[in-house]
Amino acid sequence: MHAPLAPGYRPALSNGWWLSNRRYFLYMVRELTAVFAALWAIIFVTQLPQITAGAYSNPASLVSSPLWFAFSLVSLAFVLYHAWTAFNATGTLIYLRMGPKPIAGGSLNAAMFIAWALATFVIAFVFVTPAIGG
């Protein structure tokens, strides 16, 4: 799928390059957010049949355990770091124009955060309000 390295070429980078500098380290932490996002998602999916069978009311189930709570807390921290850095990069990644003037990057970032707050509120409201889908 990718072009092979040219013969005789040896990458000069050491395997610990990302430990040499705070920015490199944070870049790798950001890469790692994907691992926690996918792990949380796949574990949640494996628990769905138990959840619809009442796992949240059963103290012995995984989703009622302190382990799940702690893992979710750690995952949330990583996912929020992903969200924070992604939304703050929006204005750098996307160029939009209204009329002759480009929209300031800061405004695009702010729009992402407002959309995020709205989405969070609406989804939490739907899942947590007993009258919806009860």
Partner 1 sequence: MYKINTNEPFWWGLFMGGAGMIGMFLPVLILVFGLAIPGGAVPPASYDTVRLIHLLGQPASVGNLLVKVFLFGVFSLTFFHWAHRFRYLLFDLGLHGGRTAVEYLCYSAALAATIYTAVTLFVIA
* Residue among 14 and 101 whose Cβ is closer to partner 1: 14
Which residues on neighbouring strands pair with residue 113, listed in sequence order?
none
d(CA 111, CA 90): 9
d(CA 60, CA 73): 20
How many residues in total does the chain contain? 134
* Residue among 100 and 130 whose Cβ is closer to partner 1: 130
Q: Which residue, chain included where needed, has tokens 């899942």? A: 127
| Contact footprint for partner 1 (CB under 8 A) | 1-3, 5, 11, 13-15, 18, 28, 31-35, 37-38, 40-42, 44-46, 48-49, 51-54, 56-57, 63-65, 68-69, 71-73, 75-76, 79-80, 82-83, 86-87, 115-116, 119-120, 123-124, 126-130, 133-134
* Residue among 83 and 110 whose Cβ is closer to partner 1: 83
In the complex, the smallest distance separating the C-beta of residue 94 from partner 1, rounded to whole angstroms, is: 12
d(CA 32, CA 30): 5
* Residue among 73 and 101 whose Cβ is closer to partner 1: 73
